[in-house]
Amino acid sequence: MAHLVAPSILAADFADLKTDLEMVEKSQADWHHLDVMDGVFVPNISFGLPVINAIKKHTTKTLDVHLMIVDPDHFIVDLKNAGADILTVHYEACTHLHRTIQAIKDAGMKAGVALNPHTSIDLLKDTITDIDMVVLMSVNPGFGGQKFIENTYEKVRSLKDLITKKGAETLIEIDGGVTDANAAKLLAAGADVLVAGSFVFRSSDPTKTIASLKAVEI
């Protein structure tokens, strides 16, 4: 499978969000990545259901929604109704991870699980065959524009080994500090989806930047 690119809308211009969404729609990007933050699980607040619902009205590409919130179970059905196609929850925020994964799938979405930089992939060995995508945080969650954590490459390789050993079909998404300087190495390690925020939206030509990420070969 060719790798996927998911621009992070958190880095877009929210005063002119429709223009940035249209740019992503017309680009070679595969998904829109939407970060929902509550100011509790992470030290920042982003946007919620009304914004996701509005984004859905102006997009046709997959909405990849990443919840950085406490008690994500309370919002699963609402997020499906708002337009989420893939819903990712944090391992660290789920008391009963398997139940949460099943609830996401029962609602009609793909289920993702995100791991913070300090969280071991070994904690997913009992649930990996139920998970559609694992999001490896390559920065500490909460803010864009952070420096990429170099240990991520080894973590990707370890996760890929787990997926292979368990016979799972789980995708690996990398979120945080992704640029053209590390994309090839991440893909070579086993990544399937690259999330890029600041690197795309702060570039002089975001469409060209997205195309460059899609064109990365290993």
| Whether residue 35 lies in the annotated active site | yes
**Closest C-alpha among 159, 155, 182 to residue 171:** 159
Catalytic annotation, pick one of 35, 38, 132, 192 = 35
| Whether residue 205 lies in the annotated active site | no
- Which helix H or strand E contains 68, and what residues bound it? strand 62-68
- 56: phi then psi, degrees, rounded to nearest 5: -60, -35
Catalytic annotation, pick one of 30, 64, 132, 175 = 175
Write out the two tokens for 97: 């991870």
d(CA 173, CA 163): 13
Helices and strands (H, E) in the chain, number of each type: 8, 8
Place of tokens 């009609």: 108
**Closest C-alpha among 183, 201, 153 to residue 13:** 201
Q: What is the DSSP string of 128-175?
A: GGG-SEEEEESS-TT-SSPPPPTTHHHHHHHHHHHHHHHT---EEEEE
Instruction: Tell how strand 171-175 and strand 133-137 pair up.
Output: parallel
Query: What is residue 125's three-state secondary structure?
Result: coil
Active site residues: 35, 175
